[in-house]
Structure 1
């Protein structure tokens, strides 16, 4: 495993985050602009990223392997909310933040740091499997993810069919069709869609930085419940998952990808969703920041224990 790859990805993430923080402080980004950036990412750039990934694939696995990985990914995203709920109960999370903690445990940062970290650990062969998990992630986060993040909140999100069948949901369905059909668009189309999708990460991280800029910097580290939460989410949970998964996933590559997906830090979607639909966006931004820092230690530990 190349530690240099992980460290460089984390460094890039934090530079983008602090750029958003700085731009908010000098009033180039304000709350209204930040909310509009949220909508741009959720409704335009993420769909382009999902479809662009599918259009760019050149090596295809067998249909049976695709189905097998999809089933594992679906099972993972169905079981993680249970783990998130148990962790939140153990930490005595306030009722109004219960849904957010379950959401953060379920939807980790597979998209940005997931791909380069998987490649550094397993090589190019892991990219397809990570793409499958990313597809299931997007289909899940825009469907029952809306219900999860709303759990325990006094300000109820009006979950409608229009919200569930969002542009990102349609893009996941389209990406699956594109992959199964082995469809390739003209280069100019694929390149344009991929280019738009590529701005997802910088925009998402600047949104998190701008969200953090709303609160005094010294309070970023005062959410003490996040420290045991991070250890439970990114160390204890993957260790338990390994012993459960290894009993029925015999392919070491699929097992490793699944395990690292579970061990990833909290995803940007926690901040994007709380900004757009309401909720404790300060807690969400703090969780992304802190879990990502600690993942520099926890991911190598998981690899050393089970995947080296």
Structure 2
């Protein structure tokens, strides 16, 4: 019953976000500004605040999640590349389709669901698990998309994309927050009470804000355009159904902690990350597919996520 009530709450928040867009209270510009607030401020503070509930937990569990995350983000690009080749995706769309399989929408979808289901400790564990996300995205994924655009002659090779700029993108506020939280956990250090309360107070706005933005963004997606790109449906099925199902069956045989199993399964069953569409925006031949993939997978997730959670029990 807890799962059903949690999903009902999240769905209603999405619906309100959708309605606010139609009422022109939320628009694309507002969504962009609020997204930056969530990514750069509220989520990092939420991660730092969440470590307090994990103090005293088994350190080996956290280290195991960190190592698993490294293995996951080393393996997923190989699997994704194999699938785009196997399914004969056009060369200029391969980076987008592969990225949709590798990178899930953790901040705007997984975090609210995991916090609602398992609490703050699980949120900290999830942050540790997905620490390699930025590193892989801003190196491998961005480079792949840029190289395909250069080969198509849509852009000239850019030399201004310096190592310093790339490092600035990789080591953002989210990464720093996870590192701080990880340090606090390993050393057993606690923040002063007023700082802990402030971080939690601001961080807890992440869930409602994120779901409102996702709902608002859904109002701008056109499902009719999906008919022109049938591979989007196929890759969405792999992203939302095949990945979490295989993960749940495979890992349930040896992962004893139901919360850890839930974190792995839920994050692998999320829609494609919003950041994929943002990164593809400069490249005309990739932008449309990325936007449709993010939009359609988000809408489809409204059906698959409740089913996934019910199967997990």
TM-score range, shorter chain: 0.7 to 0.9
How far apart, in 1, do the equivalents of 2:8 and 2:68 lie?
30
**How does the TM-score come out when normalised to structure 2?**
0.75
Cα drift, residue 50 of structure 1: 1.5
Farther-moved stretch of structure 1 (227-236 vs 288-297): 227-236
Q: Which residue, 132, 145, 160 being the options, matches 2:125? A: 132
What are the residue-to-residue correspondences of 1:70-109 with 2, within 5 Å? 70-108=66-104, 109=106
Distance 1:85 1:213, change over 3 A: same
Farther-moved stretch of structure 1 (181-190 vs 207-216): 207-216
Distance 1:76 1:257, change over 3 A: farther
Distance 1:21 1:183, change over 3 A: same
Asked if the contact 1:48/1:171 (under 8 Å) is kept, the reply is yes
Instruction: Report whether the alignment pairs 1:65 with 2:61.
Output: yes
Asked if the contact 1:99/1:148 (under 8 Å) is kept, the reply is no
> What secondary structure sits across from 1:152 in the alignment?
helix
| Gapped regions of structure 2 (runs ≥ 5) | 150-154, 282-286
Q: Which residue, 36, 41, 63 being the options, matches 2:38? A: 41
Distance 1:252 1:35, change over 3 A: closer
Asked if the contact 1:246/1:255 (under 8 Å) is kept, the reply is no
What are the residue-to-residue correspondences of 1:1-308 with 2, within 5 Å? 2-23=2-23, 26=24, 28-54=25-51, 56-57=52-53, 59-108=55-104, 109=106, 110-117=110-117, 119=118, 128=121, 131-137=124-130, 139-150=131-142, 151-153=144-146, 154=149, 158=161, 160-216=166-222, 218-219=224-225, 224-242=230-248, 244-245=250-251, 249-253=254-258, 256-257=261-262, 259-266=264-271, 270-272=273-275, 274-275=277-278, 278=281, 279=287, 280-301=290-311, 303=312
Q: How many residues align?
A: 288
Deviations 1:128-169 (A, max 9, x none): 3552232332x2222212235433352689461111111111
Name the structure 1 match of 2:152: none
Asked if the contact 1:49/1:200 (under 8 Å) is kept, the reply is yes
Asked if the contact 2:218/2:299 (under 8 Å) is kept, the reply is no
Distance 1:89 1:116, change over 3 A: farther
Asked if the contact 2:80/2:102 (under 8 Å) is kept, the reply is yes
